[in-house]
Amino acid sequence: MRTLTVITAGLSTPSSTRQVADEISAAVNAAVTARGEALEVTTIELRELVNDLAQVFTTGMSTPRLDEVKTLVSSSDGLVAVTPVFKASYSGLFKMFFDALDADALNGMPTIIAATAGTPRHSLVTEFALRPLMTYMRAVVVPTSFFAATDDFGGEEGQSLERRIARAAGELANLMVASNDSVGGLGGVTAEGQGMTRRRKTGVDPEENLVPFSELLAGHDGNS
Does pLDDT of 185 surpass 60? no
Q: According to the model, what pLDDT value does residue 147 have? A: 94
Buried b (16+ CB within 10 A) or exposed e, 181-203: ebeeebbebeeeeeeeeebbbbb
Residue 223 lies in a domain: no
Q: How many domains does the chain have?
A: 1
Q: What is the CATH number of the domain that holds 13?
A: 3.40.50.360
Give bridge partners of residue 111 from the DSSP assignment. 79, 141
How confident is residue 161, by pLDDT bands cut at 50, 70 and 90? confident
Domain that holds residue 150: 2-216
Question: Would 53 be classed as within a structural domain?
Answer: yes
Check residues 161 and 109 and name the one with the higher pLDDT: 109
* C-alpha torsion 112→165→130→19, nearest 10: -100
In this structure, the number of other CB atoms found within 10 A of the CB of residue 92 comes to 14
Query: Is residue 157 included in any domain, yes or no?
Result: yes
- The mean-pLDDT minimum among 46-55, 72-81, 174-183, 213-222 falls in 213-222
> What confidence tier does 194 reach under pLDDT thresholds 50, 70, 90?
very low
Whether 221 maps to a domain, the answer reads no
179 with 187: CB under 8 angstroms?
Answer: yes
Quick check: is 8 in a domain? yes
Q: Assign 195 a pLDDT band (cuts: 50, 70, 90).
A: very low
Asked if residue 222 belongs to a domain, the reply is no
Let me know if residue 115 belongs to a domain.
yes
pLDDT for res 184: 38
pTM for this prediction: 0.84
β partners of residue 149: 117
Confidence label for 204 from pLDDT (cuts 50, 70 and 90): confident
Q: What is the mean pLDDT of residues 111-134?
A: 95
The set of long-range contacts for 148-151, using a CB threshold of 8 Å and a minimum separation of 24, is: 148/16, 148/20, 148/114, 148/115, 148/116, 148/117, 149/116, 149/117, 149/118, 149/119, 149/120, 149/122, 149/123, 150/16, 150/117, 150/118, 150/119, 151/120
Confidence grade of residue 84 (pLDDT, cut at 50, 70, 90): very high
Distance between alpha carbon 185 and the CA centroid of its chain, in Å? 14
The reply to whether 134 falls in a domain is yes
